[in-house]
C-alpha cells in the first residue's frame, strides 16, 4: 500500500477542515430540500427505487434527481443496493436507493420521531438571521429580526405554529433523556416555565404517573399547547396557565418542582436572575429547580453543539448558552442550595443543573 504523501516541511496544514465548515450550509440545505419534496417519505412508502423511478415519482427532472440522490447518499441518508450501471441503462435498472436507518427513523412523515418539521423550521426561521451574522456580532442585537421587532421576538406575529410544531419532536426526545437522568418520582406538581408546545410536560407525565404539570407560557402558545395535550389524552394532568414571566410579578405558586428547558439561553444575565428569583418564590419549601440546556464547558472551549447554539442565540435572541458554573452561581445567590450538574445525552440538551429551594 502506498504511503500518503507528506506535506513539505513548513507547509501549512491542509484546508480540509475549513472547507468542511464552509460547506456546512450546503449539507443543511440539501437535507431541507430533500425533506420538503418528500424524498424519504416516498422511499419509505415504496421500499426503494432507482434514480429514474424516483425522478418520476417526485416530479423531478433527471439531472436534479441524480444530483440530489448522490448528495443524500454521500451524507449517509440513503443507501444503495448494487453498483451503478453504465450510462443509457434502461430506466428501471441502476442502483436502487433506500433510506438509511437514520432517515427511516427521523425523516419519514407520520412516524413518531419525525424531525422534518424541525429541519424546515431551522431553514425558514433561523437561517435568515445567520446570513446576517456580522450584523449580530457588530450590533450585539439579534440579526434575525428587524429593529422594530427586536423587543418582541416571542410575540405571536414572530413565532408561528410552524415554529412550535418544529420544536416539538426534538423537545420530546430531549425530555425522555431528561426524565431518565433526573428522578421526578417524588414530584407531584411541576411548573414548566416557557413550556412551549407541551413536549416536556407530556413526556414527563408519561414517565412519572404521579406527576401533574402546569405549562406557563404566552396565551397564544398555551392555546396551541392545550390542543397538543388533548390529542394525547393528558388534559386531566397537564394544564396551561397563560402569562408573561417578565411582565407579571409572580409565577403560579405551590409547585414542588420548576422546569426551565431551553429558556435561560434566550435571555441576558439580569433577566435570567430575575426569572430564577421568581421560580424560587413559586416553589414550596425544599422544592426542586431543573435547568435543562446545552451547557457550555466551564473553560468555554466547547462542546461544539452548545457553542453553535450559543451563536444561534446571538442571531435570534438576547441571550447565549451558559456554563454550569454560571448557573450554579446564580442559583446560590438566589437562595438555592444543593446545586448539582447532571449530564445526559439528548438532542436538545446535554445536561441539567438542579438545586433545592433554601
Higher-confidence residue of 163 and 279: namely: 279
Q: Are residues 163 and 252 in the same domain?
A: yes
102 and 133 housed in the same domain: no
Q: Per the domain annotation, does 22 fall within a domain? A: no
Note the pLDDT of residue 102.
97
- Among 41, 71, 106, which residue terminates a domain? 106
Q: Check if 265 is active-site.
A: yes
> Is residue 156 over pLDDT 50?
no
- Cβ atoms of 143 and 132 within 8 Å: the answer is yes
Spatial separation of the C-alpha atoms in residues 268 and 314, rounded to whole Å: 11
Q: Which of 38-47, 71-80, 162-171, 255-264 comes out lowest in average pLDDT?
A: 162-171
Rounded distance between C-alpha atoms, residue 109 and residue 117, angstroms: 9
- Spell out a b/e string for 150-177, using b for 16 or more CB atoms within 10 Å of the CB, else e: beeebeeeebeeebbbbbbbbbbbbbbb
Q: Are residues 217 and 331 in the same domain?
A: yes
Tell whether 111 is covered by a domain.
no
Say what the pTM is.
0.89
Q: Indicate if the pLDDT at residue 152 is higher than 80.
A: no
| Pair (100, 188) in one structural domain | no
**Quick one: what percent of the chain has pLDDT higher than 90?**
81
Last residue of a domain, one of 106, 141, 159: 106
Question: Any idea what the CATH number is for the domain that residue 240 is in?
Answer: 3.40.50.150
Q: Say yes or no: 122 and 253 in one domain.
A: yes
3-state helix, strand, coil in the chain (%, to 5): 45, 15, 35
Asked if residue 266 and residue 135 are part of one domain, the reply reads yes
In this prediction, residue 118 carries a pLDDT of 93
**Burial per residue of 237-246, b for 16 or more beta-carbon CB atoms within 10 angstroms, e otherwise:** bbbbbebebe
pLDDT bracket for residue 178 (50, 70, 90): very high
Q: Cis ω on the peptide bond leading into residue 36 (within 30° of 0)?
A: no
Q: Is residue 10 one of the residues assigned to a domain?
A: no
CA 290 to each of CA 8, 58, 241: distance values in angstroms, whole numbers, following the listed order: 54, 46, 19
CATH of the domain at 67: 1.10.10.10
Same domain, 170 and 300: yes
178 and 239 within one domain: yes
pLDDT range class, residue 149, cuts 50, 70, 90 = low
Decide if 20 is inside a domain: no
Q: How far apart are CA 353 and CA 341, in angstroms?
A: 4
346, 288 contact by CB (below 8 A): no
Mean pLDDT of the chain: 91
The reported pLDDT for the residue numbered 151 is: 61
289 and 143 in one domain?
Answer: yes
- Condensed to tens digits (0 to 9), the pLDDT of residues 79-112 reads 998 545 455 655 556 789 999 999 999 999 999 8
The string of pLDDT tens digits covering residues 216-232 is 999 989 999 999 999 99
Order of strands across the sheet that contains 212-217: 238-242, 212-217, 189-193, 255-261, 283-293, 351-357, 336-343
Of 63, 62, 48, the residue nearest 98 (C-alpha): 48
- The pLDDT score that the predictor gives to residue 74 is 97
- Domain span at residue 72 reads 27-82+93-106
pLDDT value for 146 = 64
Locate 262 and state its grid cell.
431551553
Q: Decide if pLDDT at 238 tops 50.
A: yes
pLDDT in tens, 271-295: 999 999 999 999 999 999 999 999 9
Phi, psi of 325 (to 5 degrees): -65, -40
Domain assignment present for residue 334? The answer is yes
β-strands 283-293, 96-99 pairing = unpaired
Could you tell me the three cell numbers for 245?
414571566
Backbone angles phi, psi at 116, to 5 degrees: -60, -40
Q: Going by DSSP bridges, is the β-strand pair 212-217/189-193 parallel, antiparallel, or unpaired?
A: parallel
E strands, the chain, where?
A: 78-81, 96-99, 189-193, 212-217, 238-242, 255-261, 283-293, 336-343, 351-357
Q: Specify whether 102 is located in the same domain as 185.
A: no
**pLDDT by residue (tens digit) across 48-76?**
999 999 999 999 999 999 999 999 999 99
* Residue 308: pLDDT over 90: yes
Q: What is the count of structural domains for the chain? A: 2
| pLDDT value for 164 | 74
Number of other CB atoms surrounding residue 284 within 10 Å = 14
* Active-site entry in 125, 224, 255, 265: 265
Residues 239 and 340 in one domain: yes
Q: Are residues 147 and 199 in the same domain?
A: yes
* DSSP letters spanning 40-109: HHHHHHHS-B-HHHHHHHHT--HHHHHHHHHHHHHTTSEEEESPPPPTT--TT-SPEEEE-HHHHHHSST
- Confidence (pLDDT) at 88: 60
Does pLDDT of 157 surpass 80? no
Amino acid at each position: 500500500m502506498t504511503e500518503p504523501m507528506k506535506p513539505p516541511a513548513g507547509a501549512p496544514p491542509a484546508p480540509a477542515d475549513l472547507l468542511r465548515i464552509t460547506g456546512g450550509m450546503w449539507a443543511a440545505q440539501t437535507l431541507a430540500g430533500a425533506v420538503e419534496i418528500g424524498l424519504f417519505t416516498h422511499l419509505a412508502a415504496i421500499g426503494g427505487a432507482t434514480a429514474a423511478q424516483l425522478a418520476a415519482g417526485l416530479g423531478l427532472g433527471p439531472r436534479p434527481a441524480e444530483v440530489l440522490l448522490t448528495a443524500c447518499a454521500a451524507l449517509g441518508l440513503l443507501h444503495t443496493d448494487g453498483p451503478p450501471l453504465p450510462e443509457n441503462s434502461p430506466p428501471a435498472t441502476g442502483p436502487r436507493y433506500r433510506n438509511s436507518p437514520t432517515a427511516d427513523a427521523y425523516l419519514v412523515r407520520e412516524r413518531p420521531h419525525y424531525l422534518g418539521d424541525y429541519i424546515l423550521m431551522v431553514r425558514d426561521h433561523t437561517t435568515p438571521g445567520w446570513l446576517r451574522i456580522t450584523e449580530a456580532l457588530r450590533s450585539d442585537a439579534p440579526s434575525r429580526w428587524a429593529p422594530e421587532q427586536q423587543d418582541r421576538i416571542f410575540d405571536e406575529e414572530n413565532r408561528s405554529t410552524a415554529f412550535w410544531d418544529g420544536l416539538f419532536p426534538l423537545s420530546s426526545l430531549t425530555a425522555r433523556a431528561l426524565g431518565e437522568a433526573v428522578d421526578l418520582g417524588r414530584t407531584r406538581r411541576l411548573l414548566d416555565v416557557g413550556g412551549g408546545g407541551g413536549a416536556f410536560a407530556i413526556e414527563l407525565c408519561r414517565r412519572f404517573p404521579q406527576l401533574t404539570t402546569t405549562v406557563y407560557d404566552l396565551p397564544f402558545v398555551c392555546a396551541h399547547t392545550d390542543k397538543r395535550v388533548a390529542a394525547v389524552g393528558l388534559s386531566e394532568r397537564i394544564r396551561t396557565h397563560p402569562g408573561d414571566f417578565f411582565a407579571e410579578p409572580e409565577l403560579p405558586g405551590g409547585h414542588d418542582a420548576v422546569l426551565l428547558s431551553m429558556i435561560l439561553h434566550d435571555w441576558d444575565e439580569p433577566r435570567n436572575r430575575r426569572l430564577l428569583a421568581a421560580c424560587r418564590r413559586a416553589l414550596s419549601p425544599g422544592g426542586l429547580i431543573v435547568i435543562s440546556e446545552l451547557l457550555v464547558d466551564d473553560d468555554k472551549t466547547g462542546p461544539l453543539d452548545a457553542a453553535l447554539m450559543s451563536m444561534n442565540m446571538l442571531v435570534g435572541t438576547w441571550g447565549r448558552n451558559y456554563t454550569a458554573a454560571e448557573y450554579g452561581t446564580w442559583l446560590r445567590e438566589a437562595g438555592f442550595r444543593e446545586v448539582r450538574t447532571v449530564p445526559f445525552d439528548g438532542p436538545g440538551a446535554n445536561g441539567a443543573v438542579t438545586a433545592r429551594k433554601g
